[in-house]
A and B are shown apart, each in its own frame.
Chain A
């Protein structure tokens, strides 16, 4: 139940019905205040009685009132409620929350980028390519960050991630990305770093892969930016998408080759045409 403390006027949760004050310090302070009032009353009552007043003045010094206000009540408190009273007065109102600096920094960076707003830019026809690259890059970022947090990782897994990034870079969509796409360089840089690491550790089955905190922060920011716009897929889905994309690209290449071949003259056709020309020239 909620009670109002008659001394500090603040509401508090009371365990008992008859609890009046919120803390022992308030109880003590209220008692001191009551004493102060009583002393004042005695002094007024004895104003006309000089002898009594003299006794009173010698017994209670005149500076009694200000000194009562300054009484240090901490000494009166038991060990149990000492901490309670310490926090109950000024500290609780002056609590300064601790902020995570790097999280604030990332949010600020995100807001700064938001001003230029590459996300709001309409890519038009290129939107599909941007979306495809962004979704897949987001997934790879997720995996890289996740893997970097693991105690050790299979080398093959890391190589798979590197291959995923390489495939992303060599895809047709990547080549046709708009110039102002903000992650083009980041994707290449991440792939290169991973590739270097894989080449250095290729003899080991398990490797300890961790990111520098500055790099991790960058990757977290990129992932966060992408997550505000694009949906999430997991690595298994990504592999499926890659396979279908490879098949698509293969069939496209085949079709192109066929088209080229069909337009190209075969050798016997060239010979036949040359002979015909010679015959025509002979007649003329």
Chain B
């Protein structure tokens, strides 16, 4: 997760598995967060999203927390702690 701060506007990069894409999209739309798809990892079925938010807005902060919670839960469940591309070694 990369961070780019500009005063109160923060943009972060999230790698989202397609399995939880629907939920993440729901949060983004609900909170009206500015976002952009900046990449796709085809071999891992992941989408790289850049999401911007205002740090001083609690609503935005809660939405971002919601996103990170879901991604963390997915990571715990799916044991995705490795960046290794070779499936034989990961």
Contact = CB atoms under 8 A, between A and B. Distances in A.
A150 interface: yes
Nearest to A13: B56
Interface of A is mostly: helix
A235 interface: yes
Residue among A95, A142, A150, A151 having the largest count of chain B Cβ atoms under 10 Å:
A95
A74 to B, nearest CB: 16
B20 A103 contact: yes
Interface of A: 12-13, 83-84, 87-88, 91-92, 95, 97-100, 102-103, 106-107, 142-143, 145-147, 149-151, 213, 216, 220, 223-224, 227, 232, 234-236
A151 B43 CA distance: 5
Contacts of B89: 234-236
A98 B66 CA distance: 7
Given A97-B69, A149-B45, A224 B79 contact: yes
9 contacts: A12-B56, A87-B58, A87-B59, A88-B58, A95-B62, A97-B62, A100-B70, A223-B78, A223-B79
Contact of A227 (B19, B44, B79, B90): B79
Q: Which 3 A-B pairs have the closest CB atoms?
A: A87-B59, A92-B58, A146-B87
A127 to B, nearest CB: 23
Given A13-B56, A149-B45, A98 B70 contact: yes
Nearest to B45: A149
B6 to A, nearest CB: 13
Given A87-B58, A97-B66, A100-B23, A236 B79 contact: no
Nearest to A96: B30
A230 to B, nearest CB: 12
A216 B66 CA distance: 24
Contacts of A223: 78-79
A43 B57 CA distance: 40
A206 B65 CA distance: 40
B36 interface: no
Interface string B43-61: 1110000000010111110
